[in-house]
Structure 1
Amino acid sequence: MDIAGARRSPAGLLVTWGLTRLLLLLFVLKVFVFPGPDVTSDVSVIYQGWYDVLRTGTFPLDDVTWQYPPAAALAILSPGLLPFLPYATAFFVLAFLADLVAFSLLLYAGLRPGRSLRGVWVWVVGVPLLGPTVYARYDVMVTAVAVAALLAGARHPRVMGVLVGFGAMLKVWPALLLVAVRRRRTWMATAVTAAGLAALFSVAMPGAFAFLTFQADRGTEVESLGSLVFHVARQYGWDGQVLLNYGSVEFLGPWVNVVSTAALALTGLAFGWLLLWRLTATRFEAHTAADAAFVAVLMFTTTSRVISPQYMVWLIGLAAVCLCFRASRMGVPALIVLVASFVTVLEFPIYFGNVVASDGLGVTLLFLRNGLLVVAAVLAAVRLWRSTASPEAEAPLPAHATLTTEETSVSP
């Protein structure tokens, strides 16, 4: 589809979004059966179990699978807003609405003067690549908040801060959206919002921060970058196990703690690089906050001890915001993330049994997906550095040249 034509009439976007989202709803409602294990069981069993506990005014203190900041309770309780629907159905409807909110914000941003529709196309195409898992986890709701925060940043710094603070209390990672933010108002609004929510939940509901202990005790999940060590080691007689542990399928046994520690060290190095970049960067433009947020979340996701399939929706959302700006240099990393998202739906849920068994197909899919994430992270980091911190940082193309380059080279 020609982007220039889509700019004049977003009908193609609306039709594509509508058809793909209808298909996702049909899968989660089990009108159609998606290959692999049932991804909706997390909602109908785990989330609904938490819902029953949270309604009593306390967090699930004895459940180690509860590993989320306190505002996550709002997402789990939200299906109560639709009491005329069964819990799972209500959750899927709300996930669909969160998707719609993100789509609408990206479309509005893309239609503004000087912006691009590439971003909304990334969202329209990228989300269904992950399959029904997107609507069977609350990450799409968090991503909608993050998208809104980044798009609000330029004109409404306090609104961005409030949304970042709220998002961080939903699932922590939106705090990384501040990595390139220089306005004190945004930081203050974030701190006040997060502190206010933390205090409110601490007083109102026992166990608001028990998730910190549960997170610290996690091992190496079978889809993470570090897990590749054990997938290969199993071929040579590694004496360990693959078990459901802390709510995910993890490797347990010799050397697991070493690999988990190495993953934490990589995350620490990523943080150090981001800090160095922030101290070195001298060129900040309208798109820099989105580009830096995308790089930060991409680096932290790639080095994490856990790379659950739904984490990819974070990257799709941030990549979409980046590409709303014509001057963003994240086009190729965003494309790599889309390819990695397609590989993700192959490794989970379609061939997840092969991944757990560490057979040739499963290991190949993991090497490919995680390799793509590593390439995307490195390439995105290099581009961010060169455009903002390098002494020879390139000046942006003139508006008419950027329009020609972007609108003629992208055809979703």
Structure 2
Amino acid sequence: METTGTRRSLAWLGGVWALTRAALLLFVFKVYVFPGPDVTSDVSVIYQGWYEVLRTGTFPLDDVTWQYPPAAAFAVLSPSLLFWLDYPSAFFVLAFAADLAVLLLLRYAGRRPGRPLRGAWVWVAGVPLLGPTVYARYDVMVTAVAVAALLAGARHPRVMGALTGFAAMLKVWPVLLLIAARRRSAWASAALTVGALSALFALTMPGAFAFLTFQRDRGTEVESLGALVFHVARQYGWDGQVLLNYGSVEFLGPYVDVVSRAALALSALAFGWLLLWRLRAKRFEPHTLADASFVAVLMFTTTSRVISPQYMVWLVGLAAVCLCFRGSRMTLPVGLVLAACFVTVLEFPVWFAHVVASDALGVTLLFLRNGLLVLATLLAARTLWRATVTETALLTVPAQTPRTKETSLPS
């Protein structure tokens, strides 16, 4: 039976979620105007343009901004389910539904024995910190599938694998959820799902994998960690440009390719660390799968050439799953990610013009947001290593008995 305290906590959870999400809907439906550039234009212009092409049975082969795996077509086409609404309105409603699905999953997980509701609170608080951008991108839909996969992981590895494979075909990054999966059935199920979807799209829709070639000429996105080099360099006469390129605002010009390669090198180092961790880790607890996924996505988000605001939705979702487990030690990194979310909405969309101009306010916001992400990444990685490698090694050292000490002395 639920206690009065639990019922009150659930009521507060639902109430805060409803109020904050109502505010997000009012912004995306433009009842009220959110400061900064219009974040909904991606839906009404880009997504709807892709929708018109996809509904003809082919991928947008002539549009280099299409940089997503083939199952992303499901997300772009999904507003047709609400055929009585115009495309943007239907998309916003479906994004809202995905948000609600995550809340229900986390609430269900939080009501199980030994699992607190703090994970659900992370989601309730974290999403509105990012502003209306959350409902104007399909990342919240991908995050919903990823959250379901992680929550299923401990007891239902095949279900986790299938959901992870599907999510990876929506937007690649969820493949990192498998980093700590110990059951072969999870990997096999993921591979089978990816293979089946790849074959389906390759046979039925031309251009399913054209997105793989659309990344080669990208610059360094102005919000990324590497972009800080050019924000500072502009103060000393760097003569590059800030242009809309491949769907995002990027730096183009001298040495951009060097910084982009450095970002790829950092991502490779992150992958190497994760591989080393996987080989060395010996202690796996129920929360390890979520913690390792959080660390992996943190690493690749922070080192990426692009850190778009919607990427933070992934981190909020994974952070929420971590704190669904009482044993997780990711509380401090999660707090840093939530702080980074608040700074993110300030740099985009509120003061994005200052970021593009590389003025004092814009550069300060980026140093703060990216600094929080770097710190969260380092702390989360250290916490994961200590919990699964270092402490395990200490636990396996046999205790030395007094008799052993005595016999080791010279006679």
TM-score w.r.t. length of structure 1: 0.94
SS in 2 for 1:70: coil
Q: Residue deviations 1:193-237, cap 9 Å, x none?
A: 001000100111000111111123221000000000000000000
Within 5 Å, give how 1:52-131 maps onto structure 2.
52-131=52-131
Q: Which amino acid aligns with 1:236?
A: Y
Q: Which amino acid aligns with 1:21?
A: R
Q: Distance in 2 between matches of 1:282 and 1:9?
A: 37
1:241 matches 2:219: no
Q: Distance in 2 between matches of 1:6 and 1:252?
A: 54
Cα 1:259/1:341, change in 2 over 3 Å: same
SS in 2 for 1:243: strand
Q: Which amino acid aligns with 1:208?
A: A
Residue 405 of structure 2 corresponds to which residue in structure 1? Answer: none
Identity of aligned residues (%): 77
Q: What is the CA-CA distance between 1:35 and the residue it aligns to?
A: 0.1
Q: Please say if residues 123 and 320 of structure 2, whose CA atoms lie closer than 8 Å, have aligned partners that are also in contact.
A: yes
Cα 1:65/1:392, change in 2 over 3 Å: same
Within 5 Å, give how 1:163-312 maps onto structure 2.
163-312=163-312
Q: Which has the larger radius of gyration?
A: 2
Residue 345 of structure 1 corresponds to which residue in structure 2? Answer: 345
Residue 404 of structure 2 corresponds to which residue in structure 1? Answer: none
Q: Please say if residues 221 and 305 of structure 2, whose CA atoms lie closer than 8 Å, have aligned partners that are also in contact.
A: yes
SS in 1 for 2:243: strand
Q: What is the CA-CA distance between 1:156 and the residue it aligns to?
A: 1.1
Q: Distance in 2 between matches of 1:141 and 1:39?
A: 17
Q: Distance in 1 between matches of 2:233 and 2:126?
A: 33
Q: Please say if residues 111 and 117 of structure 1, whose CA atoms lie closer than 8 Å, have aligned partners that are also in contact.
A: yes
Q: What is the CA-CA distance between 1:6 and the residue it aligns to?
A: 4.6
Q: Residue deviations 1:237-283, cap 9 Å, x none?
A: 00100000000000000000000000000000000000000000000
Q: Distance in 1 between matches of 2:41 and 2:360?
A: 27
Q: Distance in 1 between matches of 2:341 and 2:142?
A: 18
Residue 34 of structure 1 corresponds to which residue in structure 2? Answer: 34
Moved over 6 A (4+): none
Q: Please say if residues 17 and 124 of structure 1, whose CA atoms lie closer than 8 Å, have aligned partners that are also in contact.
A: yes
Q: Which amino acid aligns with 2:251?
A: F
SS in 2 for 1:143: helix
Q: Distance in 1 between matches of 2:46 and 2:279?
A: 43
Q: Please say if residues 147 and 318 of structure 1, whose CA atoms lie closer than 8 Å, have aligned partners that are also in contact.
A: yes
Q: Residue deviations 1:10-62, cap 9 Å, x none?
A: 00000000000010000000001000000000000000000000000000000
Residue 137 of structure 1 corresponds to which residue in structure 2? Answer: 137
Q: Distance in 1 between matches of 2:206 and 2:179?
A: 32
Cα 1:144/1:394, change in 2 over 3 Å: farther
Residue 25 of structure 2 corresponds to which residue in structure 1? Answer: 25
Q: Residue deviations 1:59-100, cap 9 Å, x none?
A: 000000000000000000000000100000000000000000
Cα 1:367/1:394, change in 2 over 3 Å: farther
TM-score w.r.t. length of structure 2: 0.94
Q: What is the CA-CA distance between 1:4 and the residue it aligns to?
A: 9.9
Residue 371 of structure 2 corresponds to which residue in structure 1? Answer: 371
Q: Distance in 2 between matches of 1:39 and 1:5?
A: 39
Within 5 Å, give how 1:311-350 maps onto structure 2.
311-350=311-350
Q: What is the CA-CA distance between 1:389 and the residue it aligns to?
A: 0.9
Structure 1 gap ranges (5+): 396-412
Residue 358 of structure 1 corresponds to which residue in structure 2? Answer: 358
SS in 2 for 1:250: strand
Q: Please say if residues 161 and 185 of structure 1, whose CA atoms lie closer than 8 Å, have aligned partners that are also in contact.
A: yes
Structure 2 gap ranges (5+): 396-411
SS in 2 for 1:244: strand
Q: Distance in 2 between matches of 1:246 and 1:284?
A: 41
Q: Which amino acid aligns with 2:366?
A: L
Q: What is the CA-CA distance between 1:381 and the residue it aligns to?
A: 0.1
Cα 1:371/1:9, change in 2 over 3 Å: closer
SS in 1 for 2:390: coil
Q: Please say if residues 7 and 117 of structure 1, whose CA atoms lie closer than 8 Å, have aligned partners that are also in contact.
A: no
Q: Residue deviations 1:161-202, cap 9 Å, x none?
A: 110000000000000000000101110000000010001001
Q: Residue deviations 1:357-385, cap 9 Å, x none?
A: 00000000000000000000000000000
Q: Please say if residues 283 and 392 of structure 2, whose CA atoms lie closer than 8 Å, have aligned partners that are also in contact.
A: no
Cα 1:35/1:196, change in 2 over 3 Å: same
Q: Please say if residues 122 and 316 of structure 2, whose CA atoms lie closer than 8 Å, have aligned partners that are also in contact.
A: yes
SS in 1 for 2:251: strand
SS in 1 for 2:116: coil
Q: Distance in 1 between matches of 2:206 and 2:314?
A: 29
Q: Distance in 2 between matches of 1:4 and 1:359?
A: 52
Q: Please say if residues 107 and 120 of structure 1, whose CA atoms lie closer than 8 Å, have aligned partners that are also in contact.
A: yes
Q: Which amino acid aligns with 1:147?
A: V
Q: Please say if residues 282 and 392 of structure 2, whose CA atoms lie closer than 8 Å, have aligned partners that are also in contact.
A: no
Q: Which amino acid aligns with 2:352?
A: F
Residue 400 of structure 2 corresponds to which residue in structure 1? Answer: none
Residue 408 of structure 1 corresponds to which residue in structure 2? Answer: none
Q: What is the CA-CA distance between 1:5 and the residue it aligns to?
A: 3.5
Q: Please say if residues 53 and 60 of structure 1, whose CA atoms lie closer than 8 Å, have aligned partners that are also in contact.
A: yes
Q: Which amino acid aligns with 1:354?
A: H
Cα 1:258/1:133, change in 2 over 3 Å: same
Q: Tell me the number of residue pairs that the alignment of Structure 1 and Structure 2 aligns.
A: 393
SS in 2 for 1:215: coil
